Amino acid sequence: RNIGFSYTPRPGKVAAIPGQQGDTLAMNSYFTGLLTMASLIMALGAQNTYLLAQGLRREHHLAIAAFCLTCDVILVAAGVLGLAALIQHSPLLVDILRWGGAAFLLWYGAQALRRAWRPAAIDKLETTSPRSRRQALLAAAAVSLLNPHVYLDTVLLVGSLGSQQAA
């Protein structure tokens, strides 16, 4: 079952070029991946907002972007190579991810609520000294790897779609 987008060449072109079906499959896979990842990037999550905030502050934004990219590539590859199936068939792993993700979201939400109730805390954030690269990368690791949406979107959704594509 292919739930992605399809690319169909113009009529009459299929027989004219040898190997066109392979090209069509490659384009189908390309557009499926491109549109799926574009739709996931448009929905700003914890990782995207953290990266944008660090970029606006000009605090280690290139190192953080490289780290986030590396995490995403590894997670997509893990999903395509079968981690999605392993997670779905392991009730203990599903529970660990579920409750760990819930704890992360509660902590992250509590931090945001605290900042909203005390606007002075937001002003204080602007005047505090910059984070070290290590602190910034540890925070990037937290929003990249502790967020349950990473595993739902990147590993399960993208991994499942990727594993369905022709090799």
Closest CA to 149 of 93, 79, 82, 98: 98
Separation of alpha carbons 103 and 146, rounded Å: 9
Per-residue model confidence (pLDDT) at position 12: 46
Q: Mapped to the 3 state alphabet, what secondary structure does the chain carry?
A: CCCCCCCCCCCCCCCCCCCHHHHHHHHHHHHHHHHHHHHHHHCCCHHHHHHHHHHHHCCCHHHHHHHHHHHHHHHHHHHHHHHHHHHHCCHHHHHHHHHHHHHHHHHHHHHHHHHHHCHHHHHHHHHCCCCCHHHHHHHHHHHHHCCHHHHHHHHHHHHHHHHHCCC
Res. 14: pLDDT tops 50: no
Looking at residue 63, what is its pLDDT? 93
pLDDT at site 17: 47
> What angle is formed at CA 66 by the lines to CA 61 and CA 70, rounded to 5 degrees?
145
What pLDDT does residue 141 have?
Answer: 92
Residue 97, pLDDT above cutoff 80: no
Residue 127 has pLDDT above 70, yes or no: no
Mean pLDDT of 141-159: 79
pLDDT tens per residue across span 28-68: 777 877 787 777 777 777 888 888 888 888 889 899 999 99
What is the distance between the alpha carbons of residues 145 and 11, in angstroms, rounded to a whole number? 46
Q: Nearest CA to 23 among 166, 142, 121, 150? A: 166
d(CA 54, CA 87) in angstroms, rounded, equals 32
- Displacement of CA 93 from its chain's centroid (Å): 19
Confidence check: pLDDT of 23 > 70? no
